[in-house]
Chain A
Amino acid sequence: MLREGCPEAIKNCSGHFSKFLDPQVRNTLLTDISRFLALEEDDNEPAPDLKGKMTAIQEGPYKALRIYFQGASSTPREAKVLSSYTLNGLTFSTFTRHRGNSFVLIRRPSLPSVPARIESMLQISANEIYFVVRYFLKTLSDDPFDKYPVLQSSLWSQDLGQLVVIKPQDVESHFACLAFEWRGTDSLAIVSLSRVFSSSPCHQLMLTSPTGILNQFFVSHCFSLFLTLPPFFCDPFLSCLHIQLFIGIQGSIIFWDFQLLLDLMLDRLLSRP
């Protein structure tokens, strides 16, 4: 789209393409599609009317806010307390509302991300929202996940640090976690749900294929057109047959291997008690 001579129609679709490629929008295909279908809608929550909904900020979050605002006298004393907030199609919740949605990885410049849980969400003004979070502390036990960096998993303590204020944009992704005892220590295994695997961030080269995206985009829309045609122009059975021809198997190869491997593992375990 950046090349000279790109048709105007394609340029006008840049919003669609960018949403197709946004690495942090959603992590599964189904949610990707629902995100795309909701393209014309602003799925970030509309700025609500804050009149009459502002309450005094509690002592703990207020202290964290004062640190965030570096002790400035302009540190807000009132805010609307939110229990969930949607940004770029992802819903974040407070720990008391939904645990899974409250666990987030916070990005730090030039440093690995840190897991935290959202304690509260404060809306200061229509477009000014802050998350009050507690970071998880690094475990003192040895981390069995260190040997497998590609898994984007790590072991942390279940203990939490002080309250800290961050902006929603500082959130890298959600994470999945499991609490268990590891070598006598209460630990938390954390699995990043970011779909961007970064082996060496400094040398990250973003490769995208305009041709591939165009194929996905236009072929999908041609299919949609099939649905709108009268049946004597396009019999659904024939359509299905034709569309089957388009189906490659590349995407399902590696997932099919999981099934195979599990079968083999079960065979092995059952045959050797």
Chain B
Amino acid sequence: MYTPSWLTSVPTNLGEPSHGKLKADQWRTLGTTYLPVSLIRLWDQVDDDDRRSQDCRKLLAVTLSLISAVIIASSRTTSEEKADLYLHHMQNYLNGLRELFPQYRFLPNQHMALHLAEYLRLYGPVHSWWTFPFERLIGMLQRIPTNFQIGKLCLYFF
């Protein structure tokens, strides 16, 4: 896939343990750029006689609902209409998940994701209030050399 040089790169060996955990921006790029093209190519054409093909189509619909929700939620503009659309796709995703994986136990994060529509209405685009800049700053702080002595002056700094 051809992408511009500024787009966050995704590991070419995705799925192997060697690349470690993906960062949130890598997940977003993977989900909104690579997955739709790959999954639609693989699963959009349904063979009516094949149960697996039908299941894959359902899985595709559920996945694309989540991707749609991410695209709407991370848009740099928002509106009442978009907040409603986000909620619609997120509910579709969670309903589909429950249907496809009845044994799966939902987690608090999935409940909280349903509240994002409310926050889009109250606070506007997530770009102005999400916490990723702070996480980056934490990374900077963690790289500061210290003497591991809380409250004791380290002459190294002067």
Contact = CB atoms under 8 A, between A and B. Distances in A.
Interface in A25-54: 26-33
Given A197-B71, A197-B72, A268-B59, A253 B109 contact: yes
A191 B40 CA distance: 13
Interface in B46-76: 52, 55, 59, 62-64, 66-76
Interface string B120-148: 11111111111111111110111010100
Q: Is the interface of A mostly helix, strand, loop or mixed?
A: helix
B3 interface: yes
B157 A255 contact: no
Contact of B1 (A23, A176, A255): A176
A148 B64 contact: yes
Interface string B142-158: 10101000111110011
Q: Is the interface of B mostly helix, strand, loop or mixed?
A: helix
A20 B76 CA distance: 10
Interface string A236-273: 11111001101111111111111101001110100010
Contact of A237 (B59, B131, B150): B150
B31 to A, nearest CB: 5
Contact of A176 (B3, B100, B135, B157): B3
Interface string B96-124: 01001100100001101100100111111
Contacts of B130: 248, 250-251
A178 B71 contact: no
A144 B33 contact: no
Nearest to A267: B101
Contacts of B16: none
Contact of A230 (B29, B123, B157): B157
A144 B57 CA distance: 13
A144 B82 contact: no
A226 interface: yes
A227 interface: yes
B107 to A, nearest CB: 8
Contact of B31 (A100, A226, A258): A258
Interface residues of A, number: 89
Task: Report, nearest first, the 7 A-B pairs whose CB atoms are least far apart.
Answer: A209-B124, A212-B129, A251-B130, A23-B76, A197-B75, A150-B68, A205-B79
24 contacts: A20-B127, A23-B76, A28-B29, A29-B136, A90-B4, A101-B5, A153-B36, A177-B1, A177-B2, A191-B32, A196-B77, A204-B79, A205-B79, A207-B120, A207-B124, A223-B134, A224-B137, A235-B150, A243-B138, A247-B138, A254-B66, A264-B97, A264-B100, A265-B59
Given A200-B81, A209-B129, A226-B141, 17 more contacts: A32-B127, A101-B4, A148-B36, A150-B68, A174-B7, A178-B1, A193-B33, A227-B140, A231-B146, A243-B138, A252-B24, A254-B116, A261-B62, A261-B63, A261-B66, A266-B15, A272-B52
